[in-house]
Structure 1
Amino acid sequence: MRNAASLVVLHEPNTGQATPALVDGREYTDLPELLGAAGGDAARITRGDSFAMDPEELLSPVGRPRKIICVGQNYLAHVHEGGRPAPPEHPDLFAKWDNALAGPYADVALPPESTQIDFESELAVVIGRTCRRVAQAAVRDVVFGYTAANDGSVRDFQFHTTQRTAGKAWDGLTPLGPVVVPAAALGGDSPDLQITGLLNDEPVQEDRTSHLIFGLPRLISYITTFMTLEPGDIILTGTPAGVGAVRQPPLFLKDGDQFEVRIEGIGAIRNTYRAETLS
């Protein structure tokens, strides 16, 4: 079996097959480089020769993005469940790095330093072109596609200070995938997709991406006011209501739990959580 882990592939669900993604006949080992070569244009991506692949081999569809920008408080019901009377005036942003990413079907380690590991189902945006100061009307030209993410959060560390980094940037706590679907197939820059989070097959989060407080045109225009975005950069757009930390009693992930993020038109990531054993 060919080693798909070293290639960007066009995954063919339920076939046991994958196809290398080519630009001008060349294979690529990560999506940022492929998108850069294609100029963010999905029509320039062609197929190589198919080969057998076990879907369990799939890694995060973006391995080494330059930037991962995350959005908090972006569904109104989530704002309210957190005890906030009104949404923020501007997008509530924080960052992760590529160390946080995990594959769509990977076992995810629960760190022993905390018992407050939470789930956050999210639509993730993959940027296709280098861009700065993008007008809202032009955002459709810089978005390549969408995938599913679980913004794993270590709640006690998150609230050690007023900054979120210590709770959000943990190694391997942000599964991503299973595929990146071009934006044109999912509603362009304003997708209306059902998003569901399931804990051990029981729905715990549910909403539609059209209910985002800050939609993609406004988000990306705002972010690119102060930052250049590049091919393969990721934006996690925020989580619906239902996170474990605000439930009574709180509902945190434990050894053996499975959490699934299912997004209409994209598919699902499903990860099993295992207690990490320190050597």
Structure 2
Amino acid sequence: MTAPSAVDWTGGLGLARTATDDGPVVVLRRDADPAAAIALVDGQRHPDLPALLDAAAGDPSRITAGEVLDAPDRSLLSPVGRPGKIICIGQNYLDHVREGGRTGGPAYPDLFPKWHTCLSGPYADVPLPPESDQIDYESELAVVIGRRVRRVTAESASDVVFGYTAASDGSVRDYQVHTGQRTAGKAWDSLTPLGPVVVPAETLGGDRPDLAITGVLDGQVVQDDRTAKLLFGVPELIAYITTVMTLEPGDLILTGTPSGVGVARKPPLWLRDGSEFEVRIEGIGSLRNRYVAERVSP
């Protein structure tokens, strides 16, 4: 067996999760490169990112490269399979706030939850539920937490963030306005693809990344912004959230979407059977998902 080797995190290398005959495993992979190496901590492989990050204490230098295997796009799973928490942020780009008819952003971060059943792989076909014809797209930068923490100051946020990945926050807009809170429109099974890789924060600008974020629907750019324009940056989000709750390795924070969402267009632009939506984030790569009508048994 080849001895584990040190990892060079440059060039967009990140942590992905791939299906194998022996079950899921976390691997080291670059976007669009099917060659991957099993990610090891103290010589041990892991089926999911929370356990690996816990073993590494959130430190990328503790991760080494093991056996090389083939991990084509079609084999990739959500890089985090069962995060303990998925905390989402609404109204966090000013242009998105304005396209929704408001003039200014919220005084505090606008939080809402998702669960692990919401997640899909970065290249999976995503089911469109038959209960609604108002399914919207949202491109988002997702923060991946590296260590168990509570009451972290904004100045210490860099010690907490392991890395970043891309998220596609599917939103069921009619269900979202059934009540005064938005969970019913945001927490649908499988409508939140994630990936393809989690890239360490230290290679992407630390806790204040300035990355191009783009959403492309059926070949047309519909969202285009930079993550530096977040109203509440990553340090402020972590400080606020950890005032309320403990964050643990593998927990996710979806930082909000730029302007250009379908509900704000005239006429509205919804995902349909056969739509393809792609989220591109500089330094991370892209996730591309085809949306297909869900077949529900009578």
* Pairwise same-fold verdict (TM > 0.5): yes
| Unmatched 5+ stretches in structure 2 | 1-18
Q: Is 2:93–2:231's contact at 8 Å kept on the other side of the alignment?
A: yes
Q: Could you tell me which residue of structure 1 aligns to residue 204 of structure 2?
A: 186
Q: Could you tell me which residue of structure 2 aligns to residue 106 of structure 1?
A: 124
Q: Could you tell me which residue of structure 2 aligns to residue 177 of structure 1?
A: 195
Q: 1:203 aligns with which of 198, 221, 232?
A: 221
2:156 pairs with 1:142: no
Q: Distance in 1 between matches of 2:23 and 2:223?
A: 31
2:57 pairs with 1:39: yes
TM-score by length of 1: 0.98
TM-score by length of 2: 0.92
**Match of 2:77, SS?**
coil
Q: CA RMSD in A?
A: 1.1
Q: Could you tell me which residue of structure 2 aligns to residue 232 of structure 1?
A: 250
Alignment of 1:1-279 (within 5 A): 2-3=20-21, 6-279=24-297
Query: What is the CA-CA distance between 1:17 and the residue it aligns to?
Result: 1.4
Query: What is the CA-CA distance between 1:2 and the residue it aligns to?
Result: 4.5
**CA 33–136 in structure 1, closer or farther in 2 if over 3 Å, else same:** same
Query: What is the CA-CA distance between 1:144 and the residue it aligns to?
Result: 0.1
Q: Is 2:31–2:284's contact at 8 Å kept on the other side of the alignment?
A: no
| Unmatched 5+ stretches in structure 1 | none
**Match of 2:38, SS?**
strand
**Match of 1:50, SS?**
strand
**CA 200–18 in structure 1, closer or farther in 2 if over 3 Å, else same:** same
Query: What is the CA-CA distance between 1:12 and the residue it aligns to?
Result: 3.8
Q: After the TM superposition, which parts of structure 1 deviate over 3 Å for at least 4 consecutive aligned residues?
A: 1-5, 12-15
Q: Distance in 1 between matches of 2:22 and 2:187?
A: 27
Amino acid corresponding to residue 168 of structure 2 in structure 1? N
Query: What is the CA-CA distance between 1:14 and the residue it aligns to?
Result: 4.2
**1:79-131: per-residue Cα shift (whole Å, max 9, x none)?**
00000111100000000000000000000000000000000000000000001
Query: What is the CA-CA distance between 1:55 and the residue it aligns to?
Result: 1.8
Query: What is the CA-CA distance between 1:13 and the residue it aligns to?
Result: 4.0
Q: Is 2:85–2:115's contact at 8 Å kept on the other side of the alignment?
A: yes
